[in-house]
A = this chain, B = another copy of it.
Amino acid sequence: MLELEKNEYAQLMKDADLFFKKLFPICRSITGNGVRKTLSILQEIVGFDIKEIPSGTECYDWIIPDEWNIKDAYIKDPSGNRVVDFQRNNLHVVNYSSPLDKILSFKELQKHLYTLPDMPEAIPYRTSYYNKDWGFCLSQKQLDSMNKEIKYHVKIESTLKPGNLTYGESYIKGTSGKEYLISSYCCHPSLANDNLSGITLWAFLLKKLSKIKTFHSYRFILVPETIGAIAYLKSNEPLMKTVNGGFVITSVAGPGEFGYKSSFIKNHLIDRVVRKTFQELDEYYIEYPFHVTGSDETSYSSPFFRIPVGTICKDKYFEYPYYHTSLDNLEFISAKNLIKTLRIYLHAIEMLERNITFASMMPYCEAMLGKRGLYPKVGGHYKQNKPCEDAGINGHGYEIKPGVLIPEKEIDAMLWLMFYIDGKTSLFDISQKIDIPMKQLYEISQKLVQAGLIKPIT
């Protein structure tokens, strides 16, 4: 239902490459035209609303800051050479730098320069959103080659004026009464894995889910990190109090291992679904425990809201050396890696979609499967403990990869379903108890629905 067809793969590969190229160069920030342009390009993938909140709006402990826009910035030597040039890489300017036009000695300038001595080729990424300041980021190599004896012309053509914080939103309405949050952040400038990859996957996921009739509701939001999530929570406080769980999508297209940062609850349905997804797809991943630093899960999971939020990554932020440097660029990520992570997200969400709770119409004893054509006609030879030696079959004899069950195992699963279904235990709970892939169990449950033995609870 949410699997990727072969021809979809090819199209997604092409799209990912295309949008990577379109979106990477834009200088995004927590407000301003960079975000507007980014969201409008993403609307070419899938429709969603773009909304704005004015500067000065109070959001709990925070205030939406003035809007920041930037045209140009440089450090020029007396010969007019741009020693550091925003046009070459938007990381060169500390994000949210105030406007400036001054002649400064190297010594005065130096207090405003940021480098990474351990990675001499890389430009670091720095911000100063809430402290009016300015600065330049450059590679250690650049810094070393600067003449320390001369004066420099330092110019930042930025504006900081009352404006808006811009964000994207889409709501997919389901019937289950449960709602999941799918959030990503769109404030990072030319950084590829963190988080150009995340916003692209967010749009692909929204497109895919928009095409089916979902069981649950999904709230997709694309906000500037921290302030955007906080502003969104403030604007939607009562609704957000009832969200059942969610994901923050970030850093999903690197060359390294899959990672999963679990929710603060550790064993919430969200966490169990992700772990089973990796198991069923037989993919290796590293599990990272919840940590209070990271991304917007901190706000979503804060004491008042306590939404359990997980994050599936490929090369998790903080963990890869190029993190928050100019080396996190289009060479570091790939469309292929992004699609791999998309597949994980789709499989996990498919599990959520199939996580129905049923009531039993025949809770009294063993149901008579025979009269419904669900049981072999000649009895006496049913023997469930025969060891199953075929590869790809787990201890219980269910095939691990989606496929067709051997008949005896299908009866087993039917009997287990009839045994566990009590109006409280969900299909996912049962799939974990008897270690069967969700897809197979779901299909078996549908046979029991058709036989009138169980019915979904709403």
Contact = CB atoms under 8 A, between A and B. Distances in A.
Interface stretch (A119-127, A158-166, A268-276): A119-127
A133 B379 CA distance: 12
7 contacts: A127-B378, A131-B378, A230-B365, A292-B412, A298-B366, A303-B420, A318-B383
Contact of A366 (B230, B367, B379, B419): B230
Given A364-B302, A365-B302, A291 B384 contact: yes
A451 to B, nearest CB: 11
Contacts of A389: none
A234 B365 CA distance: 9
Query: Contact residue range for chain A?
Result: 35 or more
Contacts of A366: 61, 226, 230, 298-299, 302
A215 interface: no
Nearest to A419: B292
A153 interface: no
B126 A380 contact: yes
Given A292-B415, A293-B415, A304 B380 contact: no
A444 to B, nearest CB: 13
A20 interface: no
Counting from the closest, the 7 A-B pairs by CB-CB distance are A303-B363, A299-B365, A304-B363, A292-B415, A60-B364, A127-B379, A230-B365
Contact of A419 (B62, B226, B298, B415): B298
A131 B373 CA distance: 11
Contacts of A363: 302-304
A114 interface: yes
Nearest to A233: B365
Given A130-B371, A293-B412, A415-B292, A61 B362 contact: yes
A186 interface: no
A94 B380 CA distance: 10
A284 interface: no
Given A60-B362, A124-B380, A318 B368 contact: no
A302 to B, nearest CB: 5
A381 B126 contact: yes
Interface in A328-378: 360, 362-368, 370-371, 377-378
A135 interface: yes
A293 B395 CA distance: 16
A421 interface: yes
Contacts of A368: 61-62, 130
Contacts of A421: 303
Contacts of A412: 292-293
A385 interface: yes
A129 interface: yes
A387 to B, nearest CB: 11
A64 to B, nearest CB: 12
A412 to B, nearest CB: 6
